[in-house]
Structure 1
Amino acid sequence: MSKQSIFGRISSLVRANINSLLDSAEDPEKMIDQLVRDYTNSIVDAEAAIAETVGNLRLLERDHAEDVRAAGEWGAKALAASNKAEEYRAAGNAAEADKFDNLAKVALQRQISAENEAKQAEPTIASQNEVVEKLKSGLNGMKTKLDQLKAKRAELVARAKTAEAQNRVADAVKSIDVLDPTSDLGRFEDKIRRQEALAQGKEELAASSLDAQFNELEDLGELTEVELRLAALKSGSGTAPAIEQ
């Protein structure tokens, strides 16, 4: 499993989660907490993938070590068989000497086979060791980013709340714009003006009614004067009482 395949998959998952959170426009604090959880889960996934890679590498290393050990053992057996063959040959027993020489050849073939397998595995082991080191470094980088995200959480939440408060203040200021007749204050002022006009109308109506009452009093005064003069005529004085100056 390559470094790119592990971290590429995890990186795609993290980006998808971030985009989903941003698109949903959730509460900033909840969004950051969810991001921390997603990133933590991604680190867990990376650790599992790296552990599997390391496990496979250790299997290769054990197989390589077994091949190296086997090659050594077959070499020792080949040497032992060759020495035994020489002993029989020195004793004049050619048949037994040839027999042990053949055993030595078989052992040497096994040694060569084990050595070849060990050599073939060495480049793979070397490359896998390099990949594992890069994976471990990438994992440490992810953990560092997570620590930074956790440390940044309080600042990001505070900034989000500050921005929200600023927007609310701006909306409130706009709603009471004294120069805007459509604002809340403008509509309230218009209502007051209508009430003032209504009060003025009632005052004018009351004043008009009061003038009418005074006019009635003047008319009543004139009628009373007429009655007095009529009474004087009937009493025979013949002279209408003079109007007092």
Structure 2
Amino acid sequence: MSKQTILGRVTQLAKANINALLDQAEDPQRMLDQLIRDYTNNISEAEQAVATTIGNLRMLEADHKEDVEAASEWGGKALAASRKADELRAAGSAGDADKFDNLAKVALGRQIQSEKEAAVAEPTIAAQTSVVEKLKSGLDSMRNKLTELQAKRDELVARAKTAQAQNTMMDAVKNIDVMDPTSDLNRFEEKVRREEAMALGKQELAASSLDAQFEALDDLGKSLEVESRLAALKQKRAA
């Protein structure tokens, strides 16, 4: 996996808009669970890739450090050989002086080679350092995004449970309204009232029946009195 691929992937994941993804989801909770799993896996993969990139950078830095130290060391050797050649030449040993001058030249050549290698590595190290910093920043963003995802998931689950409880309560209230026990009491009360009315009707009917009987007795009494008086009149006339 190349540095650009790693960096592009980390940057894309870090910039993911959670709310936009949720708006498009049919089942936000399930999507959040999947996102959390994907993010966790992606973070793990990115961490390994970034660790590899950092390891490569540290190797480059170590090689650069060795080249810088080697250049300094070869420079010191060249200086020591040159001084020795000057001392020998001053002492009249031109042949030995030339040998040390040649050693100085060899050391200087090694110094130049080490300096070149160090110089060549420096732009690569600078670029790698920039990439590593961006990768670290991207990983931090991904970790923050994962925390945000987990918080969103917990919030959504809590809201779903609350909504479910509210719906259950409202359904219960609705059922109470539909099957109102007071309606049964009202029907029973109405039945009692009808029974009471019937009893009153029977009482009134019974009372009217007694009145009719008494009226019949009164009529019978009047008829008997009339018959009695008629008989008395006839007896009186006969006498």
TM range (shorter): 0.5 to 0.7
Q: Does 1:82 align with 2:73?
A: no
Q: 1:113-147 CA distances to partner (integer Å, 9 max, x unpaired)?
A: 10111111111111111111111011000000111
- Say whether the 8 Å CA contact 2:74–2:108 is kept in structure 1: yes
Residue 93 of structure 1: aligned partner? 93
> What is the alpha-carbon distance in structure 1 between the residues aligned to residue 36 and residue 95 of structure 2?
78
Identity rate of aligned residues, in percent? 65
> What is the alpha-carbon distance in structure 1 between the residues aligned to residue 150 and residue 135 of structure 2?
23
Deviates further, 31-40 or 135-144: 31-40
* Structure 1 stretches of at least 4 aligned residues deviating more than 6 Å after TM superposition: 21-24, 161-168
Q: 1:158-190 CA distances to partner (integer Å, 9 max, x unpaired)?
A: 45567889999xxxxxxxxxxxxxxxxxxxxxx
State the Cα distance separating 1:46 from its structure 2 match. 0.8
State the Cα distance separating 1:87 from its structure 2 match. 1.4
> What is the alpha-carbon distance in structure 1 between the residues aligned to residue 51 and residue 83 of structure 2?
48
How do 1:127-166 residues align onto structure 2 when only pairs under 5 Å count? 127-159=127-159
Tell me which amino acid in the other structure corresponds to 2:111. Answer: Q
> What is the alpha-carbon distance in structure 2 between the residues aligned to residue 24 and residue 148 of structure 1?
17
Q: Does 1:42 align with 2:42?
A: yes
Q: Does 1:33 align with 2:33?
A: yes
Distance change in 2, residues 1:55/1:76 (3 Å): same
State the Cα distance separating 1:25 from its structure 2 match. 5.5
TM-score using structure 2 length = 0.59
> What is the alpha-carbon distance in structure 2 between the residues aligned to residue 68 and residue 107 of structure 1?
14
- Say whether the 8 Å CA contact 2:25–2:31 is kept in structure 1: no
Distance change in 2, residues 1:165/1:6 (3 Å): farther
Q: 1:8-28 CA distances to partner (integer Å, 9 max, x unpaired)?
A: 34647x98xxxxx999956x5
State the Cα distance separating 1:152 from its structure 2 match. 1.1
Distance change in 2, residues 1:35/1:22 (3 Å): farther
Point out the structure with the larger helix share. 2
Q: Which runs of 5+ in 1 are unaligned?
A: 16-20, 169-245
Q: 1:176-224 CA distances to partner (integer Å, 9 max, x unpaired)?
A: xxxxxxxxxxxxxxxxxxxxxxxxxxxxxxxxxxxxxxxxxxxxxxxxx
TM-score using structure 1 length = 0.58
> What is the alpha-carbon distance in structure 1 between the residues aligned to residue 60 and residue 160 of structure 2?
51
Q: Which has the higher contact order (CA 8 A, sep 6+)?
A: 2
Residue 64 of structure 1: aligned partner? 64
Tell me which amino acid in the other structure corresponds to 1:61. Answer: E
State the Cα distance separating 1:41 from its structure 2 match. 1.0
> What is the alpha-carbon distance in structure 1 between the residues aligned to residue 82 and residue 64 of structure 2?
27
> What is the alpha-carbon distance in structure 2 between the residues aligned to residue 133 and residue 23 of structure 1?
33
> What is the alpha-carbon distance in structure 1 between the residues aligned to residue 31 and residue 166 of structure 2?
20
SS in structure 2 opposite 1:72?
A: helix
How do 1:1-245 residues align onto structure 2 when only pairs under 5 Å count? 1-2=2-3, 4-9=4-9, 11=12, 28-159=28-159
> What is the alpha-carbon distance in structure 1 between the residues aligned to residue 164 and residue 42 of structure 2?
31
Q: CA RMSD in A?
A: 3.5
> What is the alpha-carbon distance in structure 1 between the residues aligned to residue 81 and residue 118 of structure 2?
24
Residue 18 of structure 1: aligned partner? none
SS in structure 1 opposite 2:92?
A: coil
SS in structure 2 opposite 1:92?
A: coil
